[in-house]
Amino acid sequence: MTGFQHILFPVDFSERCEGAVPFVDAMARRFQSKLTVISAVHLHYSGAMGDPGTVDPQALLQAVQTHLDGAFTKEFAGLTVNRVTELGDPAQVIADYVKSHAVDLVMMPSHGRGPFRQLLLGSTTAKVLHDVACPVWTTAHTGTAPDLERLNLEKILCAVDGTAEGVALMQEAASFSKQVGATLRLVSVVPGIEAWPERQMDIEFEEQLRINTKSRIEEQQRVAGIDAPLCVAVGSVADAVAEEAERHGADLLIIGRGAAHAKLGRLRTHSHGIIRLAPCPVLSV
C-alpha cells in the first residue's frame, strides 16, 4: 500500500454515494491517481414490470451512461476520470473490473442509514469486501452525513492482532501515514471474560493476557522499526476499536482483511463489526 495509482469508485447515485465524493476526490488528488467511476445496471423482473422482453438492456445502459457522464464533473475536474457502465450484479461487476484493470483501491459507502440499517452492511459492500484482493475504503457506517473534517487525514488508527499478518499491516499503515503526513496510533483488543464462557478466567488472568499481548506487539514494533503509541484494550473487538477511534478523533481506521478460516474466505472475523461501528472511514487491507 505505497500509494494508489488507480481508484475505482462504484456509483449508484444515492445520497450516501454523493457523500463519499469529497473523500474520493481528496484521495485521488493526494496520490494523483487515475479514477474510474463505475455504475452497474442490474435488471430485475417481476410481474408488475413485465417479462424480460419488455426491457431493452442496451437502451437502459445508454441512459445510465449518459447520467454517469454528467455526474460529479465539477467535483472531479482536473483528474483523469474514466466513466464505465456495465450490465450485471453490482458486486460481481466491481470484482471483475478490479481484477481486469489493475485497480489499487475501491472506495464506496457502507450504506448505513436509519436505526435498523445501521446494524448491517450493504450487501454489495459486504460482497466486495469478501471478493476483491485490493484495499477497500468505506465511509463511516452512520446515519449522519460524512464528516468532511476527516478529509485531511491527520490522525490514523490501525487495529492489529499480534500476528505475523499484523506486522505487515503495521508496516503498511506506517508507510501510508508517512505519505499523507498523519500521526499513527495502534490498537489491539484482548477478548474479555464474556467471550470465554467455558473458562473460569479471573481478572488477574485477563490482565496478564493483556500485558502479554502488549509486550508481543511492542516487540514486533521494535523489530519493524515502527514508533507509534499502542493501546491494548479488553472486551469486544469491534466495540473497543470503535471506542479507541472515537477517543482519539481518528480520521481513518486501517484494519486487516486477510485469510482466517476456509469457511470465512478472505474476510476476517471482526471486519464487518469494526466497519459497522467505526465512527470514521475504514480502509481494510
> What are the structural domains of the chain?
1-143 (3.40.50.620), 147-285 (3.40.50.620)
CA triplet 28, 12, 134: central angle to 5 degrees? 45
Q: Which of 36, 163, 51, 154 has its CA nearest to residue 100?
A: 36
For residue 269, the model assigns a pLDDT of 67
The pTM (predicted TM-score) of the whole model is: 0.87
For residue 116, the model assigns a pLDDT of 37
| C-alpha cell recorded at residue 108 | 464506496
Block means of pLDDT (10 residues each) for the chain, 285 residues, are 90 89 96 96 60 74 94 96 95 96 93 44 82 93 70 94 87 95 96 57 78 94 95 91 96 81 48 90 95
For residue 14, the model assigns a pLDDT of 86
For residue 114, the model assigns a pLDDT of 41
Q: Which of 256, 272, 277, 235 has its CA nearest to residue 126?
A: 272
For residue 257, the model assigns a pLDDT of 82
Please tell me the distance from the alpha carbon of residue 128 to that of residue 40, in angstroms, as a whole number.
13
CA triplet 280, 158, 213: central angle to 5 degrees? 135
Please tell me the distance from the alpha carbon of residue 191 to that of residue 209, in angstroms, as a whole number.
9
3-state DSSP call for residue 108? strand
